[in-house]
Amino acid sequence: MSTITITASDINKLRQATGAGMLDCRKALTESNGDFEAAIDWLRKHGQKVAAKRSDREAKEGVVLAKTTADNKTGFVICVSCETDFVSKNVDFVSFVQSIADAAVINNVKSVEELNNVTIDGAKVADIVNDKLAAIGEKIGISRFERIEAPFVASYIHGANRIGVLVGMSKESTEAGKDVAMQIAAMNPLAVDESSVPAETVAREKEIAIEQIKAEGKPAEMAEKIALGKVNKFFKENTLMAQPFVKDNSKSVADYLKSLDAELKVTAFKRVAIG
């Protein structure tokens, strides 16, 4: 039994994240003692079809930009968040974010902390952000920063600066870089392939699958085998190489890359999105 108070705000937050009903959200939070992640798992184990929580759902409004160095060896994607779309759609604000992204590229920064300390026209980025906050009256900040190094890095911005993608590849291919980046923007994979999915994520999905199978009344001895099938389906839906290629669903992304060049591989990717 929960030892903490479950508020209407907590319930609404879970409803917004999962689409589950109010009573189910209250029950899930109660059973998980208010732990938001555990509540999502509880809902899934009890048959609710909810979306897995993704790290790119942090900023409600803002501007995302993705850029690469001139040699396409390093890529950067940043999100400067704000409170309203009135600000995020403002040309001056987009230009402000562009200047920060340019500073990241020029100075080849490795982290948000390093980016905050580089200068633009003699002023630190952190101070420029504070000045902008004071000028527009909204809370703003660099909420996401990602960086990739690879033999070839492609960048892609989708939806009026709503999604930014970087794709690291084993060799240069402008065509594949753009296509794969668009795939990532559209399908939001969790990892490059099955081997790069964290072990704890696989274990979590297997546990949820087993609980779902038990809840359906199937024999316990069948649960393990059926669960493995569900986990394999999870890999197909959530790993980039196994996903159906958006431009041709008859082949996977891995098949598409192989059709261009048998040695062409995706080494890493980053996806940052607003909302």
Domains, the chain, ordered by start: 1-53 (1.10.8.10), 61-166+269-273 (3.30.479.20)
Window from 60-74, 86-100, 212-226, 244-258 with minimum mean pLDDT: 212-226
Mean per-residue pLDDT for 79-84?
Answer: 93
Predicted confidence at residue 3, as pLDDT, reads 60
pLDDT digits (tens, 9 = 90+) for 173-196: 999 999 999 999 999 999 999 999
Q: pTM for this structure? A: 0.76
pLDDT digits (tens, 9 = 90+) for 1-57: 446 789 988 888 888 778 788 888 999 999 999 998 889 889 888 877 775 544 434
CB 156 within 8 A of CB 243: no
Mean per-residue pLDDT for 155-168?
Answer: 95
Q: Residue 237: is its pLDDT beyond 70?
A: yes
Predicted confidence at residue 51, as pLDDT, reads 54
What is the overall mean pLDDT for the chain? 90
